[in-house]
Copies of this chain bind each other. A is one copy, B any other.
Amino acid sequence: MVILGIDPGSRITGYGIISKQGNRLIHIDNGAIFTQSAKDFPQRLDKIYRGLSDIIAEFRPQAIAVENVFLAKNAQSALKLGQARGAAIVAAVSVGLPVFEYTALQVKQAVVGTGRAEKTQVQQMIKALLNLPEVAQEDASDALAVAVCHAHSANLKAVLGSMFNVQR
């Protein structure tokens, strides 16, 4: 299963693609979409949407994972982040892909084993887990982290599914 993790932002949107083969996680690609060159805010959203649409067309993920944001500095930054997130999610749902949302706590627990992990610990762990030559760009690393979180969660759901596999 190929999983695309996304860390949306109105200036930088990180992405990370991993493949889950049994219990192994394999790094496929990661990077960031920079929107600062856009002439206005709607064009930034277009860059996010088109950038992710291209990535989805190239890597054909079966699932998209995004971190669920509950907090923002203020309403203005929440509006900007929200619009970036909306553009990112539409790139996935408009081609029929399921979007899974995880809290920052769930991501840290999945990657480091504790919800109290520091950001740098998560980055180091992602580097180690996925055998990256170096720590990935910050937003790309966050995107890989939520993809790893989904991979673990999918594992757990599969185990629980087989444990509680009742006749219907």
Contact = CB atoms under 8 A, between A and B. Distances in A.
Nearest to A84: B86
A89 interface: yes
A78 interface: yes
A79 B76 contact: no
| Chain A contact residues, majority secondary structure | helix
Interface string A57-90: 0000000000001111111111111111111111
A43 interface: yes
A49 B79 contact: no
Interface stretch (A18-26, A91-99, A106-114, A130-138): A91-99
Nearest to A72: B75
Q: Interface size for chain A: under 10, 10 to 19, 20 to 34, or 35 or more residues? A: 35 or more
Nearest to A47: B93
Contacts of A88: 86
A23 to B, nearest CB: 28
A94 B78 CA distance: 23
Nearest to A68: B41
Nearest to A38: B93
B83 A72 contact: no
A42 interface: yes
A111 B95 CA distance: 38
Given A42-B99, A94-B46, A94-B49, A83 B76 contact: no
16 contacts: A40-B99, A42-B99, A46-B90, A49-B93, A70-B76, A71-B75, A75-B78, A76-B78, A79-B82, A82-B83, A82-B86, A86-B86, A86-B87, A86-B90, A87-B89, A87-B90
